[in-house]
Amino acid sequence: MTPKNVLRIGTRASLLATTQTETIAAALRDAHGIDVELVPVSTEGDRSREPLSVIGGQGVFVAALREAVAAGDVDLAVHSLKDLPTTPDERLNLAAVPTRADSRDVLVARDGLTLGELPTGARVGTGSARRAAQINALGLGVEIVPIRGNVDTRLGKVASGEVDAVVLAMAGLVRLGRADEATEVLDPIQVLPAPGQGALACECRADDVATARLLDVLDDPDTRAAVTAERSLLASLEAGCTAPVGALAEIAWGDDGDELWLRGVVADPSGSPSIRLSATGSPREAAAVGERLAAEMLAEGAADLMACPPIGTAQ
Ligand SMILES: NCc1[nH]cc(CCC(=O)O)c1CC(=O)O
């Protein structure tokens, strides 16, 4: 295959998307001394203000980008990994999963407040059933208010007083240079992030070996193992239950080499106790660890937890 003159990267047009895509573009220029150009692709998720559950769920953010890669309009796309559906797309190759940013959720509240300091009845904005259910499970008496929009819009609702706080991904704030606005980092012991949160995904066409080779230097094996376990847990749970899922895998050094520790939660928006379990295994068998944990969670009753009300399906 002939080397490309200019590598074209498809990106959503939002500030968060272009910022993270520009990071990948810079890394590719540095690593290979090639020209890289960003190509904005508009997605239904960006255009519509409807709840995500109405327009087709979280996948609406990536569908148009994936089509642009498959059609050859761009060479690759950079996605937030947590927005990628678990169903494989045979036309595409997840050629690089770069080193993950902070995977945790954060609270951004008025007056520097933490969750525990919010008064009873405080309005906490989130469009994510996973975040809503886990915060409700803490029994703080706060009111979850469904909101959506990009990070800037959501932060603006705190500044304007429309809500007392919002819950966001730390990684998004870091990428936008606004991490100092977080008033509390939520411990995964209380709020597990979305599977894949904080990680990026670089996808090229399955038959485009040249681009896959360029992307190879960006791949981080520990991040890939972690998100493989989280997404395998999610995929197995999705087959058996409809309640929102949180997951976090971490790689640590154990006595026998490195070990993958996967935590998962299936939260019930209707208020039943959530199911929270963990499993460990080799990072080389990350997918199997996720499948095993899913089977245990389903056996504990995850399948009986209720689907989320139409608050949305944002992760
Ligand atoms: N839900 C939308 C979304 N998709 C990716 C991120 C940024 C964090 C990441 O890359 O995981 C966000 C914002 C958020 O959840 O606050």
| Per-residue pLDDT tens digits for 130-172 | 999 999 999 999 999 999 899 999 999 999 999 999 999 999 9
Residue located nearest, by CA, to atom 8 of ligand 1? 172
Q: Are 62 and 177 within one domain?
A: no
Q: Are 83 and 12 within one domain?
A: yes
Show the domain range for 93. Answer: 6-98+199-219
Ligand 1 centroid – CA 188 distance (Å): 16
Q: Are 161 and 114 within one domain?
A: yes
Does the CB atom of residue 171 touch ligand 1 within 6 A? yes
Confidence of residue 58 (pLDDT cuts 50, 70, 90): low
As beta bridge partners, residue 200 has 80
Q: Are 294 and 271 within one domain?
A: yes
Q: Which of 46, 73, 75, 83 is catalytic?
A: 83
Q: Are 163 and 181 within one domain?
A: yes
Predicted confidence (pLDDT) at residue 59 exceeds the cutoff of 60: yes
Does the CB atom of residue 197 touch ligand 1 within 6 A? yes
Q: Which two tokens stand for residue 46?
A: 């960006």
Give me the chain's average pLDDT, please: 92
Q: Are 84 and 110 within one domain?
A: no
Q: Are 145 and 177 within one domain?
A: yes
Q: Which atom of ligand 1 is nearest to the CA of 16?
A: 7
pLDDT at 272: 82
The tens digit of pLDDT for each residue in 75-105 reads 999 999 999 999 999 999 999 999 999 999 9
Q: What is the pTM of this model?
A: 0.92
Average pLDDT over residues 177-191: 98
In a domain, 312, yes or no: no
* Domain final residue, candidates 185, 208, 243: 185
Confidence of residue 50 (pLDDT cuts 50, 70, 90): low
pLDDT at 122: 98
In the chain, the number of structural domains is 3
Residue located nearest, by CA, to atom 7 of ligand 1? 172
pLDDT at 310: 45
Rg over alpha carbons for the chain, rounded to the nearest Å, is 19
Does the CB atom of residue 172 touch ligand 1 within 6 A? yes
Ligand 1 centroid – CA 299 distance (Å): 30
Q: Are 287 and 245 within one domain?
A: yes
Q: Are 41 and 12 in contact (CB under 8 A)?
A: yes
Give this complex's ipTM: 0.95
**CA distances (Å), origin 77, targets 19, 72, 73, 95:** 13, 11, 10, 10
The tens digit of pLDDT for each residue in 240-275 reads 888 899 999 999 987 778 999 999 999 988 878 899
In a domain, 232, yes or no: yes
Please indicate whether residue 268 is annotated as part of the active site: no
